[in-house]
Amino acid sequence: MSSVMLEIEHLTKRYGEHVAVDDLSLSAKRGDILGFVGPNGAGKTTTIQVLVGLLRPTSGAARIAGLDCVRDTRAVRQRIGFMPDTFAGYDNMRVSEYLDFFAAAFGIQRQRRAAALDKALELAGAAHMRDLYTQALSHGMKQRVSLARALLHEPEMLILDEPTNGLDPVARVEMREAIVKLAKAGKTVLVTSHILPELASICTEIAIITRGRLRAHGSLSEITRQVRQVRRFEVILLNAKQAEAAQRVLREQFAGTGQVVWSQAEGLMRVETSADDAVLAAALAALVQAGVPVLQFREMQIGLEDAFLALLQEQPAAVAAGEV
């Protein structure tokens, strides 16, 4: 069995002159949690519609578990569980009845449905809701039931569109824990969210898309390296009285490539530079050679939100250059 669950290769979708998805390629392995990030209109929904068989691409291909999302739509749908960003409910139905209806739609035999419902409700953390009416559910409870619905047929991959949208802090934590638990059980999860710190905390990989194009793909640390133009460091000295000497050394080392600022209140020095690792190593060696003992010389990591904003800020320049 291949370890690759999702494969998207040169996927393009056009609507006349408008390009919704532009030569998109990415992949995910079994057990991965792939965060799919982009502003409104970036192409996320179009990509998801192709994956679930609701839309034909103009060109390119998408495969799930080795099955083509266009040619093998019926088989693909048996292998994915889709949780949309809105709850499609029916009034005057208990949760168990609601899920039984969808279990029948999935083709689960009647004698197996009770066990399938129990398992899906347990995995989604919604077992206590089975006898409640759907119209009486809170938003957070509806999200749990939606997740249970997506799990009924034991799919190999889950596509979750904004699963934590509108949830209170406790419900968001519970939903994140449920997603991680499902990934540990071997399911591949593609999840979209506008709450970027949440994705950073649970995703094994992140794909950032803007204007239909993939701008960055990889782990959080890999993405920050891809988008970072300026690196930030904090330098803590053994003796704060040597701050002036340290500034002089570092300014000489980073001349033309960065700036050095001493924060007396915090007792540390901040360096912003576009220099490479060789220059950084030389700067640290120069401090030691100048007799300035250093307690700590560490790079400050940027978060997913910073990386996302950095990519968005690049867009106007790319448009002006005719790149998008």
Give tens-digit pLDDT for 20-48: 999 999 999 999 999 998 888 889 999 99
* Residue 162 and residue 17 in one domain: yes
Question: Of the segments 133-142, 266-275, 304-313, which one has the largest average pLDDT value?
Answer: 133-142
Query: Which amino acid, 317?
Result: A
* Average pLDDT of the chain, as a whole number: 86
Q: Name the pLDDT band for 295 (thresholds 50, 70, 90).
A: confident
Domain that holds residue 259: 230-299
Residue 306 lies in a domain: no
Q: Which residues pair with 237 in a beta bridge?
A: 294
Picking from 187, 203, 226, the residue at the C-terminal end of a domain is 226
Sheet containing strand 80-83, strands side by side: 80-83, 157-161, 188-192, 33-37, 205-210, 213-218
Instruction: Count other C-beta atoms under 10 Å from residue 109's C-beta.
Output: 9
Residue 192 · residue 162 · CB < 8 Å: yes
Residue 209 · residue 13 · CB < 8 Å: no
CATH classification of the domain holding 238: 3.30.70.100
- Enter the DSSP assignment of 136: G
pLDDT exceeding 90 applies to what percent of the chain?
50
Question: Which of 116, 224, 57, 101 has the alpha carbon at shortest distance from 48?
Answer: 57
For the segment 265-282, the average pLDDT, to the nearest whole number, is: 82
Instruction: Print the SS3 string covering 186-215.
Output: CCEEEEECCCHHHHHHHCCEEEEEECCEEE
* Residue 69 and residue 192 in one domain: yes
| Residue bearing the bigger pLDDT, 147 or 253 | 147
For residue range 112-159, what is the model confidence (pLDDT) as tens digits?
999 999 999 999 989 999 999 999 998 889 999 999 999 999 999 999
